């Protein structure tokens, strides 16, 4: 992979995959499909159902493989079913309710099946744009293909790539004309019809494209990947290799441009034979040992290696032969076959930074923690030196900000021809160790002299968070600490010995109102990206800060001209505040000097409103004229006139909360209250002030993904989307110690607000969520049954004792916080849940912590207490759902649940439930103390009883 900053700008207009693997690129996706939450607060699956991520930087070399992390059992057949039906079955015990795939109502189906709009990618010189064309949802038969689950990854053995990769169906090239408009489309041609395209990548000079091609075979498998190249001017494509025996190995790295005409490709070794055969009789028991008494705490990783056969199979698929291939047809194998995970050419193309993993492998951690070696080679593959060889990392502490010991984040300086930099921890990687400094940043040229020691560039007392490079006079170094939410930005002069670093920003990462923005990056002649220096009228050193502009009235993105020495800033662009939501996407100026004149500034912006989908514009200085370059149609015109409002309200402890309220098109207050669906996802904070800050904009376009709660606008529901549910732990207090209390209080405030507004019927409010949102849903039905009539919980974890070494943002172990683990688990309160609960889970969920077993055991606990519940396990699906059959059925299940238990007489349902014959009054362990027991108990007995109750239940 390139050493450029990994700013992935993948803009799709609808149905973007839940997992995205991508090379450094100029790929652009629309803001309304990008997430509003941090990675720790939002699961990949939730990003699919609500939005995909909003990234504000743009990188310019290459596009992507779109891959879903879902999986299916090896060799399992596609489940047989009758043709999907969009009619509800009879409710008198009809067995059809327990069999077959079904379709949701047409008004929902039409939105999900709408053709996806293309992904955009700009050329390195910003003079051409690719329109990367996509298909709609894949069929279940594709997910049913065999796959191998090895070392934390899922592999399609037939194609020797990650399984469940999505793909592009075509490539269109548009020239960006002088007036800012787009020229006619030129289709890339020459590859077979029906080809699946991945890893689209611009050459450094923008004259060629490289991409992979695979095709479907008769047995429903997909062929191995071949590398193709296309001439951008003519649009003609051809295979890179003349031989038909050379295939791409895309398990880790795929290929990278070394210069304008040379590509370094990861290939399947030609000498590789058949896969190893699994022995009928194992050669040994499965043995793990800790006779050294090491402390090894790991989270609940999945798809790990199980035995020696798995190790051999992993090597079989992952071992790569590197091949240097020229556009003129010449090729050369370099280096020995190995499990290469990253190949990074130096900016001047003279050297290669080569990462690979090697044995001994582990049965308890994924491959990213396997022993890792980093070497420095010449561009021709000649070994120069070993940078590091990191041992197996099974013992990284689970505390946040803990890291792997030794050298890490080894990269090329983008402002130098061939200079390396890296970080080394001084605390052994353990965040609980108090030491100063905690991290040290080093730098050293590739052409170092024997015995020459690396130079210390900077020392940090928090955890290193990256560097934005400019030149010898300027770089920005970032550090942060999760426990305190503190983040600092340092200004350093890398080429000036003796120059003192200074703090530029020192703030809370939670305080979005104080976020100054991020520096805009420009492309160098070598194809790397550095901070753009701006030439103003005076002699100051100016950069551009691009920010989200969070305010109490919502986000108002901005672009500031910032003097790096004085801290003075001038706002040179700002989003419309009244109707539109605009963002700065990328710097589009072409220039060869180190500084850009402010009068020649040119930027790419996006623009959207509540009812108008995202379009892209180029704005030029000095007149700031905006030229629209896209005219995408509305993705779901039937909801074009939906009503959206950002609402604010207060929790009983005074914390300010926000949510986005959506109402169906044409709704009037005179229509009266509606059934309402509340869909959310909790987040952790260290302060009430930060938790109460407004995030997002009331003017953002309402993006509707394939499993979004907003689909039920078409069914006449009011949708309360993303009501903030802050779990706050101020000072030394841990947020989760009051999780249930704060969860219920936030939900009460949200429900009271929609009832007060008259838009929601008090007895027809449902709650739902995905992943951690499913965990939230189950807890609310257990601890706040008065608020909701029913719930929908997708792909959740309900028993925290099954994730004993931390979960979500909890980094204490079960044994350090037994009460918290037990009391947070809705599994332990299954006897309290009386409202109807729909559980949905992918059968092959590979997300850490959310094993499919979580839903299975929770359903059994609910059923054991007579709760009205339903469990739907989706064959072949992972944490997020991909196949059209699966998604349509999920929507059918959800719509049926909402129609039956939200719309249809929830009061009568509750009366019927309460009038049912009570269960036998045999004393049951509940984990709760009587008043007498409480007087005699010091707290530990309560915890032990709860834990014993749980163990008795599952064993």
Q: Return the SS3 of 776.
A: helix
Contacts of 666 (CB under 8 A, 6+ apart): 641
Q: What are the respective helix, strand and coil percentages of the chain, to the nearest 5?
A: 20, 30, 50
8 Å CB contact between 705 and 48: yes
Report residue 860 CA to chain centroid gap. 31
Contacts of 830 (CB under 8 A, 6+ apart): 782, 858, 861, 862, 864, 865, 867
Catalytic residue of the set 57, 761, 783, 879: 879
CB atoms inside a 10 Å sphere around CB 846: 20
Catalytic residue of the set 303, 439, 845, 895: 845
8 Å CB contact between 832 and 325: no
771 is catalytic: yes
Catalytic residue of the set 402, 746, 771, 946: 771
CB atoms inside a 10 Å sphere around CB 19: 23
List the structure tokens of 545: 């800060």
Q: In whole angstroms, how far apart are CA 193 and each of 136, 187, 394, 627? A: 17, 13, 46, 35
12 is catalytic: no
Cα 779 from Cα 767, distance rounded (Å): 11
Name the residue with tokens 């426990």.
483
8 Å CB contact between 120 and 63: no
H or E element at residue 313? helix 308-318
Cα 722 from Cα 710, distance rounded (Å): 11
Cα 818 from Cα 608, distance rounded (Å): 48
8 Å CB contact between 187 and 142: no
Long-range (24+ apart) CB contacts under 8 A made by 472-481 are 472/415, 472/496, 473/541, 474/531, 474/533, 474/541, 474/543, 474/564, 475/531, 476/504, 476/519, 476/531, 477/441, 477/501, 479/439, 480/401, 480/509, 481/401
Cα 763 from Cα 514, distance rounded (Å): 41
Question: Please, what is the angle between helix 739-756 and helix 772-783, to 10°?
Answer: 80
Contacts of 823 (CB under 8 A, 6+ apart): 739, 740, 946
8 Å CB contact between 952 and 828: no
113 is catalytic: no
Q: Please, where are the H alpha helices in 757-851?
A: 772-783, 818-824
Cite the active site residues.
771, 845, 879
């Amino acid at each position: 992979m390139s050493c450029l900053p990994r700013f992935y700008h993948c803009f799709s207009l609808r149905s973007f995959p839940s997992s995205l693997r991508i090379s450094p690129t100029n790929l652009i996706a629309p803001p309304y499909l990008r997430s509003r939450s941090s990675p720790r607060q939002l699961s990949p699956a939730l990003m699919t159902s609500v939005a995909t991520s909003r990234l504000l930087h743009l990188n310019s070399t290459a596009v992507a493989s779109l891959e879903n992390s879902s999986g299916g059992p090896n060799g399992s057949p596609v489940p047989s079913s009758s043709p999907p039906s969009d009619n509800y079955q009879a409710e008198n015990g009809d067995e059809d309710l327990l069999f077959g795939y079904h379709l949701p109502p047409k008004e929902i189906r039409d939105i999900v099946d709408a053709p996806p709009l293309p992904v955009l990618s700009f050329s390195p010189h910003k003079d051409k744009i690719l329109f990367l064309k996509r298909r709609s949802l894949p069929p279940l038969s594709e997910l049913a293909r065999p796959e191998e689950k090895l070392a934390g990854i899922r592999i399609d053995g037939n194609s020797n790539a990650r399984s469940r990769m999505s793909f592009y169906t075509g490539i269109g090239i548009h020239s960006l004309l002088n007036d800012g408009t787009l020229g006619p489309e030129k289709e890339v041609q020459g590859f077979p019809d029906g080809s699946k395209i991945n890893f689209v990548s611009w050459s450094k000079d923008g004259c060629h494209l490289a991409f992979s091609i695979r095709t479907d075979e008769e047995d429903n498998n997909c062929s191995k990947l071949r590398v193709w190249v296309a001439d951008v001017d003519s649009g003609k494509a051809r295979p890179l290799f003349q031989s038909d025996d050379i295939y791409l190995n895309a398990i880790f790295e795929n290929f990278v441009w070394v210069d304008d005409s040379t590509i370094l490709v990861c290939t399947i070794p030609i000498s590789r034979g058949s896969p190893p055969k699994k022995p009928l009789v194992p050669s040994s028991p499965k043995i793990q040992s800790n006779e050294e008494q090491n402390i090894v705490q790991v989270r609940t990783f999945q798809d790990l290696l199980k035995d020696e056969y798995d190790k051999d199979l992993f090597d079989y698929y992952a071992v790569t032969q590197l091949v240097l291939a020229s556009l003129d047809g010449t090729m050369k194998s370099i280096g020995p076959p190995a499990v290469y995970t990253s190949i990074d050419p130096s900016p001047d193309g003279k050297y290669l930074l080569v990462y690979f993993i090697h044995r001994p492998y582990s049965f308890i951690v994924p491959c990213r923690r396997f022993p890792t070696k980093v070497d420095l080679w010449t561009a021709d593959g000649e070994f120069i030196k070993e940078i590091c060889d990191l041992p197996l990392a099974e013992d990284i502490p689970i505390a946040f900000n803990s890291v792997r010991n030794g050298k890490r984040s080894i990269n090329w300086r983008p402002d130098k021809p061939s200079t390396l930099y890296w970080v080394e921890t001084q605390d052994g990687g353990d965040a609980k160790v108090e030491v100063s400094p905690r991290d040290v940043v080093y730098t050293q040229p590739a052409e170092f002299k024997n015995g020459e020691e690396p130079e210390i560039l900077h020392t940090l007392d928090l955890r290193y968070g990256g560097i934005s490079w400019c030149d010898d006079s300027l770089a920005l170094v970032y550090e942060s600490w999760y426990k305190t939410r503190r983040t600092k930005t340092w200004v350093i002069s890398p080429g000036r010995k003796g120059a003192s670093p200074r703090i530029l920003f020192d703030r809370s990462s939670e305080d979005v109102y104080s976020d100054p923005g991020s520096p805009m990056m420009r492309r160098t002649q070598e194809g790397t990206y550095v901070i753009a220096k701006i030439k103003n009228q005076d002699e100051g050193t100016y950069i551009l800060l691009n920010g989200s502009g969070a305010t109490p009235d919502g986000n108002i993105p901005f672009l500031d001209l910032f003097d790096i020495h004085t801290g003075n800033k001038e706002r040179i662009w700002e989003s419309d505040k009244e109707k539109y939501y605009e963002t700065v996407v990328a710097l589009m100026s072409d220039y060869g000097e180190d500084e850009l004149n402010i009068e020649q500034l040119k930027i790419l912006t996006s623009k959207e409103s509540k009812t108008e989908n995202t379009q892209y514009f180029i704005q030029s200085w000095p007149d700031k004229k905006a030229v629209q370059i896209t005219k995408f149609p509305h993705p779901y015109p039937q909801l074009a006139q939906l009503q959206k409002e950002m609402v604010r309200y207060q929790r009983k402890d005074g914390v300010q909360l926000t949510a986005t309220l959506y109402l169906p098109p044409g709704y009037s207050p005179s229509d009266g209250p509606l059934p309402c669906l509340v869909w959310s996802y909790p987040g952790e904070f260290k302060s009430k002030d930060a938790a109460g800050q407004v995030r997002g904009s009331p003017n953002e376009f309402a993006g509707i993904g394939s499993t979004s709660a907003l689909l039920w606008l078409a069914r006449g529901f009011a949708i309360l989307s993303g009501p903030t549910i802050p779990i706050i732990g101020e000072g030394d207090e841990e947020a989760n110690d009051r999780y249930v209390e704060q969860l219920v209080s936030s939900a009460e405030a949200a429900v009271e607000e929609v009832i007060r507004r008259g838009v929601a019927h008090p007895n027809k409010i449902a709650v739902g969520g995905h992943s951690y949102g499913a965990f939230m849903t189950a807890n609310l039905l257990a601890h706040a049954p008065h608020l909701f009539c029913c719930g929908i919980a997708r792909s959740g974890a309900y028993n925290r004792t099954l994730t004993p070494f931390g979960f979500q943002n909890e980094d204490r172990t079960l044994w350090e916080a037994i009460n918290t683990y037990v009391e947070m688990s809705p599994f332990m309160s299954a006897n309290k849940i009386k409202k109807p609960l729909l559980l949905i889970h992918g059968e092959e969920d590979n997300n850490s912590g959310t094993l499919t077993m979580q839903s299975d055991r929770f359903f059994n606990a609910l059923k054991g207490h007579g709760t009205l519940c339903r469990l739907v396990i989706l064959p072949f699906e992972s944490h997020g759902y991909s196949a059209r059959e699966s998604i349509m059925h999920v929507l059918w299940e959800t719509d049926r649940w909402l129609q039956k238990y939200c719309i249809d007489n929830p009061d009568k349902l509750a009366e019927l439930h309460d009038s049912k014959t009570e269960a036998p009054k045999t004393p049951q362990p509940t984990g709760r103390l009587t008043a007498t027991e409480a007087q005699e108990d010091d707290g530990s007995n309560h915890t032990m009883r709860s834990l014993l109750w749980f163990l008795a239940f599952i064993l």
